[in-house]
Amino acid sequence: MGGGLGTTPHQAKLLYEWIPAGELLPITQAIGRVFGRLGEKKNRNRARIKFLVSKLGVDEFRQLIDDERAILPHDDRWTAFLPSAEAWEDEPARPGAPEAADDSPAFTEWRRTNVYAQRQDGYSTVTVALPLGDVTSAQTRLLADIARRYVGDNVRTTVEQNIVLRYVSNADLPALHRDLTAAKLAEPGAGTIMDITACPGTDTCKLGIASSRGLAAELRTRMARASFIADAAIEGLRIKVSGCFNSCGQHHVADIGFFGNNRKVDGYSVPHFQVVLGGRWRENAGSYGMAVGAIPSKRIPDVVETLTTRFASDRSGDESFQDWIARLGKKEIGAMLADLKPVPAHDLDPSFYVDWSDAREYSVGDIGVGECAGEVITSTVLELTEAEGEAFEAQVALDEGDLARSDERAYDAMLKAAWALVRTEWSDVPQHPDVIVREFQERFAATGRIKPQFTRALIDRHTAGAPEAPTPESARILADEAQLLIDAVHQFEIREAGATGAVH
């Protein structure tokens, strides 16, 4: 329970090791009721089970579920589906059979990357790779015909924006490939570094900050020309791109992930992507990537090339990308990418001020209603998201036992949250800690507009300076305090919006 990506990813916690099939529906009902009762109601950004599980802890959450389950009135429908569920079986359209031969290079390559043996003898699963997840209506009709011919009426979509056909008889693979080729649906490279996942981004999502699809298309084009992806370890990496921190492109669980943000350079907005490395898409998203800094969008292809070529030459034995990233650590990776961070002046290279797949000068002025989160977003929310990113990093550092870094990131998170708040009244307040804390104290703490239990930690930490040797307890408390202050600022923003009638 409680897993989720989004701005602050949470790993799912084990609620029960095992439950009988007949308990699936009542337990789910109990979970729904507990969440309905205790889940966040005012701040839609936090109306997720992951926040409730995180707040209560999984043990207390489980106790609430058990208590709720015990008082649920019995419903026959909880188990009525079981006989038919147990009797259900896949029905292949065609008999399984030995594979038919086709030595053509196109078939061989597609067979290598897009076809997987099934457990059932004589059958394979075939991935229809859809670059950027796109498929036309004409292709969809052809695909329906093809699916009907080879596998019946069952196709599946995947989280990697492809379509999967199961129970393809091995004898049919060459014929299926020919039919997919005629429909322009026989792209090889499924599950490889070329198979990039990208959310809609600024193409159509009003929450988008940078062009995720534009970047993904550019990466595909460049990699198609590059020789470095021939290395098997590189070919197997996954790239995922989100247009903003909301993580619809699942950047947290990619070997190489990116999410859009922007930076001001000489008064101009410049599209950037935050680089997130070493996430695990296997093992049910077994771990999240590490944010290593924002890079101008136009240099992201160089980031991919730098990382992959260095990984190819540097890894020891069969070291995984995740282990390699962990071995190098943030500092060395930062040094590796440092040359890619600077943005040339506008008059020297205006291309940096234009996003991928866009002819216009970049601007974030029209951020608004999103495709996915579906809400209006303000600059305060954007800034709070950065603060949340810092608070997240503080927690990561805490987990890693790096207490000084955790303390510093938690302090930065609180400063960012305070700055976002002060900016609602003084838009160009300098980003100097003394000024931020002074203004925050005078405008919000001393006036009680933000309650003292949320303001004290920042003011105390700023006054006392960095501790010489933070303890695990003090670092943990500061990391928690950072999140509480961020939440308090979110709440303040919502209250203010209610008072002014603004929509959030």
Applying CB under 6 A, the span of 28-36, 239-247, 328-336, 356-364 interacting with ligand SF4 comes to 239-247
Identify which of residues 201 and 279 has a Cβ nearer to ligand SF4 in the complex.
201
What is the DSSP annotation of 302-335?
HHHHHHHHHHHHH--TT--HHHHHHHHHHHHHHH
Q: Which helix (H) or strand (E) holds 235?
A: helix 232-235
Let me know: does 367 contact 206? Beta carbons within 8 Å: yes
Q: Which of 208, 257, 278, 470 binds ligand SF4 (CB under 6 A)?
A: 208
Rounded to the nearest 5°, which phi and psi values hold at 4?
Answer: 175, 150
Residues 450-479 as x/- pattern, contact with ligand SF4 by CB under 6 A: ------------------------------
Identify which of residues 238 and 405 has a Cβ nearer to ligand SF4 in the complex.
238
Helices 403-423 and 379-399: crossing angle, nearest 10°? 170
- Residue 243 binds ligand SF4 (CB under 6 A): yes
- Residue 92 binds ligand SF4 (CB under 6 A): no
CB of 205 to ligand SF4, least distance (A): 3
Burial class (CB in 10 A: 0-12, 13-18, 19+), 404: middle
Q: List residues bridging with 157 in a β-sheet.
A: 163
- In 3D space, the residue among 475, 435, 442 whose CA is nearest the CA of residue 457 turns out to be 475
Identify which of residues 319 and 371 has a Cβ nearer to ligand SF4 in the complex.
371
- In 3D space, the residue among 432, 392, 398, 443 whose CA is nearest the CA of residue 10 turns out to be 392
Identify which of residues 249 and 470 has a Cβ nearer to ligand SF4 in the complex.
249
- Residue 370 binds ligand SF4 (CB under 6 A): yes
Applying CB under 6 A, the span of 193-201, 308-316, 329-337, 465-473 interacting with ligand SF4 comes to 193-201
Applying CB under 6 A, the span of 48-56, 236-244, 279-287, 456-464 interacting with ligand SF4 comes to 236-244
- Residue 199 binds ligand SF4 (CB under 6 A): yes
CB of 328 to ligand SF4, least distance (A): 27
- Residue 201 binds ligand SF4 (CB under 6 A): yes
Q: Which of 114, 242, 406, 455 binds ligand SF4 (CB under 6 A)?
A: 242
Of 247-286, binders to ligand SF4 (CB under 6 A) are: 247-249
Alpha-carbon distance of 350 to 281, in angstroms, equals 36
Q: Which of 40, 99, 371, 402 binds ligand SF4 (CB under 6 A)?
A: 371
Per DSSP, the three-state class of 57 is coil
Alpha-carbon distance of 309 to 355, in angstroms, equals 25
CB of 281 to ligand SF4, least distance (A): 17
CB of 471 to ligand SF4, least distance (A): 37
- Residue 244 binds ligand SF4 (CB under 6 A): yes
CA distances from 418 to 291, 384, 482, 488 (A): 22, 9, 10, 10
CB of 9 to ligand SF4, least distance (A): 13
Rounded to the nearest 5°, which phi and psi values hold at 291?
Answer: -75, 130
Identify which of residues 372 and 376 has a Cβ nearer to ligand SF4 in the complex.
372
Q: Which of 53, 194, 207, 237 binds ligand SF4 (CB under 6 A)?
A: 207
- Residue 372 binds ligand SF4 (CB under 6 A): yes
- Residue 226 binds ligand SF4 (CB under 6 A): no
The 3-class secondary structure across 254-268, one letter per residue, is CCEEEEEEEEEECCE
Question: Taking the CB of residue 84, how many other CB atoms lie within 10 A of it?
Answer: 8
- Residue 246 binds ligand SF4 (CB under 6 A): yes
CB of 224 to ligand SF4, least distance (A): 24
Alpha-carbon distance of 326 to 412, in angstroms, equals 23
Alpha-carbon distance of 113 to 83, in angstroms, equals 38
Alpha-carbon distance of 111 to 178, in angstroms, equals 12
Identify which of residues 133 and 370 has a Cβ nearer to ligand SF4 in the complex.
370
Give the residues lining the site for ligand SF4 (CB under 6 A): 199-201, 205, 207-208, 212, 242-244, 246-249, 370-373
